[in-house]
Chains A and B, each alone.
Chain A
Amino acid sequence: MRLALIFAAAEDFQPQHEFELPAFVPIHLGPIDLSINKAVLYLWVGALVTIVLGIWIMRFGLSLRPSRRQTTGEGLYELIQGQIAEGNLPSKAIGRWFPYVASLFLFIWVLNIVGFIPLPISSDKFDLFGLELPTWGIYAATANLSVTLGLALITFIATHVEGIRYNGPVTYFKSWIPAGVPKALLVLIAPLEVISQFMRLISLSVRLFANMLAGHMLILVMIGLIFIFSSYAIAVIAIPVATAVYIFEVAIVVTIQAFVFALLSAIYIGGAIEPEH
């Protein structure tokens, strides 16, 4: 009997519903679905915040005696220059690809951090003094495979375009195969190397996507346990665990994932420009 009650309540609240994307403004161009939904709005918010943050940190009131804001900007620049760009991108390409890597880092970081701030972007409504307001919830654009795959595709295409442009197609595609492989093994090695290039695309996008999805899911499930078991006693355990996960995500995972995405992009592009490196 109690089991049945639990499952009845569980059907009312399902954490994965937070990741469904109903279209706010349906736009269909033939078979292509360009509807504006929750993920698109989060992307817009993220892009806007990135632009404002970038301009505000880097462009105004720079002086020889730096303010705290300028120190933050310089720290950020040093982090990207020292840890990500230098040593991974060859010096002849650093001027061209540093801006890409830096904006990638900032953009993904902002998208991730915006995902942990409750925002009223949702199709669910709640009633407040007769007003229909959207419910506040957490959702990250990067917890959507399409977004991360899009970002990974830019890196993927840039890698091969730059590799071909700097080395010529023959040298570049030859460089995929490690030096000194016997001719007999070439049949086995060549397909593996081609597959590994596409595995990069998958691992780059899935890493970010699954990290953010798992983080959000964990928080939502922990809070959801209170509703599923419909008992306040659960809250004594669930709320501290959810808070701990939230702090872990915001303090560590958000930055690490943005850092690693930008770092791997730099490594891939740098490796394509100078294959023997």
Chain B
Amino acid sequence: MEFLLAETTGDVADLGKAIAFGVGVGLGAVGAGIGIGNIFGSMIQAVARQPELRGELTGIQWLGFALTEAVVFYALLGGLLAYVLV
């Protein structure tokens, strides 16, 4: 442990930026994960109740999936911008 502490000289700011980037993108992924889970859960329920609507619902499902999934990438891009610029 002392060895590691002795090694960290100067690049503490980089370390903090890396941790912040990881935590930020991870939190973004949490939100998108919940959202995507919701979409597929609702889709399963909907098809179980009315199987004949499956064809119409599939398009909406994928649209919702992509819109929700994009949230992670906003977090990723924002994090990258902050990481590079700050």
Query: Which residues from chain A sit less than 8 Å from chain B, CB to CB?
Result: 3, 83-84, 203, 206-207, 210-211, 214, 256-257, 259-260, 263-264
Q: Within 8 Å CB of B58, what residues of A?
A: 83
Chain A interface, >50% SS class: helix
Q: Within 8 Å CB of A207, what residues of B?
A: 66, 69-70, 73
Instruction: Tell me the residues in window 49-86 of chain B with beta carbons closer than 8 Å to chain A beta carbons.
Output: 58-59, 62-63, 65-67, 69-70, 73-74, 76-77
B62:A211 contact, CB within 8 angstroms: no
Judged by a CB distance under 8 angstroms, whether B7 is at the interface is yes
Given contact pairs A203-B74, A207-B73, enumerate 19 new A-B contacts (beta carbons under 8 Å).
A3-B7, A206-B70, A206-B73, A206-B74, A207-B69, A207-B70, A210-B70, A210-B73, A210-B76, A211-B70, A214-B76, A256-B62, A256-B65, A257-B66, A260-B62, A260-B66, A260-B67, A263-B59, A264-B63
Chain B interface, >50% SS class: helix
Instruction: Report the bound CA distance from A264 to B69 in whole Å.
Output: 15
Instruction: Report the bound CA distance from A3 to B8 in whole Å.
Output: 12
Chain B residue at minimal CB-CB distance from A3: B7
Q: Within 8 Å CB of B67, what residues of A?
A: 260
Q: Given the known inter-chain contacts A3-B7, A206-B77, please indicate yes or no for A263 contacting B70, CB distance below 8 A.
A: no
Most central of B7, B65, B73, B76 by chain A CB within 10 Å: B73
B66:A214 contact, CB within 8 angstroms: no
Q: Within 8 Å CB of B66, what residues of A?
A: 207, 256-257, 259-260
Instruction: Report the bound CA distance from A263 to B63 in whole Å.
Output: 8
Instruction: Report the bound CA distance from A263 to B58 in whole Å.
Output: 13
Chain B residue at minimal CB-CB distance from A203: B70
What's the nearest-Cβ distance from chain B to residue A156, in Å? Answer: 17
Q: Within 8 Å CB of B70, what residues of A?
A: 203, 206-207, 210-211
Q: Within 8 Å CB of A3, what residues of B?
A: 7
> Which of A206, A211, A260 contacts B63 (CB under 8 A)?
A260
Q: Within 8 Å CB of B65, what residues of A?
A: 256
Chain B residue at minimal CB-CB distance from A260: B66
What's the nearest-Cβ distance from chain B to residue A260, in Å? Answer: 4
B63:A210 contact, CB within 8 angstroms: no
Chain A residue at minimal CB-CB distance from B74: A206
Instruction: Report the bound CA distance from A257 to B74 in whole Å.
Output: 16
Instruction: Report the bound CA distance from A203 to B70 in whole Å.
Output: 8
Q: Within 8 Å CB of B63, what residues of A?
A: 260, 263-264
A259:B74 contact, CB within 8 angstroms: no
Instruction: Tell me the residues in window 1-60 of chain B with beta carbons closer than 8 Å to chain A beta carbons.
Output: 7, 58-59
